[in-house]
Amino acid sequence: MSQRRGNWAEQRALRLLRAAGWTLLAQRWRSRWGELDLLLHKPQRLLLVEVKGRTRCGPDGWGVGALHAGKRRRLESSLQLWLQQHPEYQDCRWEWVCALVPLPPSRRPVRWLPWV
């Protein structure tokens, strides 16, 4: 996916999350293990969002196929490093979600999948 389309998908997800009361803490935060697409906060809660933008449902099922155990381990390592740098959030409960964002011309809604 091009960087421009990826940014568009992230912005669409971010607008919806802000409308639901979440505050952005980090976007496209990079570590040696990978990138945290979106990291948001509500009182005592952190939300890590992996964004997958697709124009159509392909072999990876709108991006679900990219959510494998290795990816999860790398994101957990990145999140732990972020938390070390931001200790004020260490006591927050954190949640993972994948935002499956249909890209234009699709008008389908964003699908939110809990990632456990």
pLDDT grade for 93, boundaries at 50, 70 and 90: very high
Give CA–CA dist 12/101, Å, rounded. 8
pLDDT tens track for 8-39? 999 999 999 999 999 999 999 999 999 999 99
Mean pLDDT score of the chain? 87
Read off the pLDDT of each residue in 51-80 and give the average, rounded to a whole number.
74
46-50, 74-78, 100-104: range with lowest mean pLDDT? 100-104
Sign of CA dihedral 82, 85, 86, 91: positive
Q: What is the pLDDT of residue 66?
A: 66
Tell which wins on pLDDT, 106 or 53.
53
Give CA–CA dist 115/64, Å, rounded. 10
Q: Kindly report the CATH number that applies to the domain delimited by 3-114.
A: 3.40.1350.10
